[in-house]
Amino acid sequence: MKQADTGKRPLYYGWYIVFTCMFIVLLTNGVRNSFTVFIIPMETDFGWSRGTTSVAASVALLVSAVIQPFAGRIFDSLGGRKVLLSSMVVLGLATVLLSFTFNFIFLVLVFGVVFGIAMSGVSLSNTMALLSRWFRRNRGTATGINATGLAAGGLLMVLLAAYLMQATNWRTTWAMLGMLILGLGVPIAYLFLRNDPSQMGLLPDGDIDTPDERSERTPERLVGPLEADRWSQAFRSWPIWQLSISYFVCGFTTSIISIHFVPFAIGEGISPGLAATIFGFMMLLNIVGSFGAGLVSDRFGGTKNWLALVYLCRGGAYVLLLVVPGSLGLWMFAAVAGLSWVATNPLTTSLTADVYGLRALGTIGGISIFFHSMGGFISVNMAGFLYDATGSYTIPFAIAGALLFPAALSAFTIRERKYSTRYVRESAPMGASGD
């Protein structure tokens, strides 16, 4: 029997989880993206080439890619709270250690290896998997808000790093960014993160049921034909490969910009401060794009169509970057790419959860992030060495733009209505068990 509603319902605790995860993503990915403003000062101090500094960034992506599936497996076994907290501590310490960089090997070991391992623990995949446990109906909105942390981190942390660089030096800037993670991010995560709504006697989305009503609802949980108890089951079906192939291109086309956009803009005659501002503007629009993508997915469905549109728009942004010269091309690229940059994350996570369920979502998402990070590893390395060989970013940026159009096709051809639990109700209210 339901209790009488005597007043306004308290805010569902899941929203505290959302904003905590968003802040974690903001700090951690923001620090990683800030590497772009360290490239030229560190090259100047140590006499490194662009290809040399690109190796450190690409190693971090490679290590994160390799470790990510294992981090997802640990997430599924131990819960997100332990994984996120321990990874943040390691990440903060590694960032502080970067202030002591004295040669290239040290940079590769700390930023490439230690930083890369820690980033696999605080990845967007793991925060998305955590939020998917707290939300069902509003999953796209929740994961979209979480993804705005990635955009906000690129805006705020990159600008903060650029400001600190001008006010102090690159060593002090690394140390201050690390202390920000340890002194602010870790305590907030410790206070607010919880693994599952059941730990607090709650249901997903803040639904209120008595125990009797809850037991009656359990059999009605919608089950899709591809729901997986183990990660290996998912990779025997085609949709996860379509998502992962597209996600590889996503990583290829975002990582190359995260690392090389500011140096590219400076090479176009733009001042370092203005280059960071344009990058920050792009990240600002990411907030709109990521939140909007999750919202329209929840409200209107057709997640795979929105995902395809995002890849298509990003491909158009690269065309603008290559054909429109000077600062105008940079601003136009930032405007179009900004709306599509992070929007892939909530859409991919939401569609994966809808098709394959939550039981192995951490591991499945971790393997998808492996593809994403491998794309970034290849593109960042390729861009650095092609720049050294040609003195230009034209070829690597053209390759990145060209890949986005088949990625859009791959996403568009996913048979969402056949496999997603959003549409199971139309054909099998009690769940489906076959293809």
- Does the structure show a pLDDT above 60 at 17? yes
Q: What number of other Cβ atoms are within 10 A of residue 199's Cβ?
A: 11
For the stretch 393-416, pLDDT in tens is 999 999 999 999 999 999 999 988
Residue 302 per-residue DSSP state: -
Q: In the prediction, which pLDDT does 425 show?
A: 56
Residue type, 133: R
Cβ contact 45:103 at 8 Å: no
Cβ contact 157:31 at 8 Å: yes
Residue type, 56: A
Q: In the prediction, which pLDDT does 222 show?
A: 62
Q: How far apart are CA 71 and CA 10, in angstroms?
A: 34
Q: How far apart are CA 228 and CA 360, in angstroms?
A: 7
Check whether domain 13-200+226-422 has CATH 3.40.630.40, yes or no: no
Residue 188 structure tokens: 């907030």
For the stretch 40-62, pLDDT in tens is 899 899 998 877 887 888 888 78
Q: Who wins on pLDDT, 292 or 165?
A: 165
Q: Where are the domains of the chain?
A: 13-200+226-422
Task: Average the pLDDT over each of 90-99, 188-197, 211-220, 251-260 and give the range with the smallest value.
Answer: 211-220
Residue 433 per-residue DSSP state: -
Q: Which residues make Cβ contacts (< 8 Å) with residue 312, sequence separation at least 6?
A: 404, 405, 408
* Across 155-182, average pLDDT: 92
Cβ contact 317:301 at 8 Å: no
Average pLDDT, the chain: 85
Q: Which of 172-186, 261-275, 342-356 has the highest mean pLDDT?
A: 172-186
